[in-house]
Amino acid sequence: MIDYKETRKTASKKKTLGKINLAIRFSIWLCLGISCALILLCAVAYMVNSELFHLKSVAVKGNVHVDKNEVLSLLDLERGDNIFSWDMDAARTRLLANHWIKDASISRRFVPASVTVRVVEHRPTATLFLKDKPYYVSEEGKVFAAATENAYGIMIQASDYQPANGSEDLDLILASALKAVSVVQSRGLKVKDLVIEAGGVMDIRLAMGITLVILGEMTPRKVDLALRAIREIRPVAGTVMDLTCENKIVVRNRGHYGSQG
């Protein structure tokens, strides 16, 4: 005779012990996690409040035109401030917003707590007069700041020049102007100043009183043509040498014209 009565299953001792071990391990790891979090919290609290990490000094290097006090103001960091809670990236962003600062790097030391700022400034190579307002021009040919009473480098007059595409065209012609001055001076001719006319025509006025007129790039060949003309005809002050053509130079003075190939 078959007994169909329901039988109750009982958990084995092995499975029960496994569950107990799992619970113990979980509890241990949970305690370890909480302990690590508490230790980290205590360490952060110590670093924030400890005088060991309060700022002792700030060193500023590389600044010439930007005053040290202005750099310190942009850092927004004072002696006694905690260097861990200070936002170094935001400070660098503020520094780069200064027109004179081309690049800047910041490093901090924890013991003793100190900060070092290294500034790379734009190097003013020329002073541009555009619509009767003066601006400083960098060695790359970019206007980077309004000029004060001090003038730097070559004087560039551009009162009649109207950039077709705004600052992009202005940057291009200024870079071309600085390159032209460099080519002329590399041949031993001293440049007094430069005038950018309407349409981008450039008048390079030499210290000897002669004006070289170019449109586009100034090449060594054009300068050599001017030098040959200077040696042969010995032009007087006020002479204009038109170098807009690559292989020909037109000389004019007081209404008289001449050409030289």
DSSP 139: T
Three-state DSSP state, 9: coil
CA nearest neighbour of 205 among 170, 177, 173: 177
Q: Which CATH superfamily is domain 51-121 in?
A: membrane protein fhac (3.10.20.310)
The strand pair at 240-242 and 211-215 is best described as parallel
Strands laid side by side in the 143-146 sheet: 143-146, 133-138, 124-130, 154-157, 191-196, 201-206, 211-215, 240-242, 249-253, 256-260
**Closest alpha carbon to 197 in 240, 233, 236, 235:** 240
Fold of 124-260: Rossmann fold (3.40.50)
What is d(CA 203, CA 177) in angstroms, rounded to the nearest whole number?
10
- Cβ atoms of 39 and 96 within 8 Å: the answer is no
pTM (two decimals) = 0.70
- Give the burial class of 116: count Cβ atoms within 10 A of its Cβ; 0-12 exposed, 13-18 middle, 19 or more buried: middle
**What is the location of CATH 3.10.20.310 in the chain?**
51-121
Rounded to 10 degrees, the C-alpha dihedral 229/235/240/244 comes to 0
Per-residue tens of pLDDT for the chain, all 261 residues: 545 455 555 556 666 766 777 777 777 777 777 766 655 554 454 555 557 778 899 999 999 999 999 999 999 998 888 888 889 999 999 999 999 999 999 998 887 899 999 999 999 999 999 888 999 999 999 999 999 878 899 999 998 887 777 677 888 999 999 999 999 999 999 999 999 998 889 999 999 999 999 998 999 999 999 999 999 989 999 999 999 987 788 888 754 445 555
**Whole-angstrom distance, CA of residue 124 vs CA of residue 143:** 9
Within the chain, all domains assigned CATH 3.40.50 are found at: 124-260
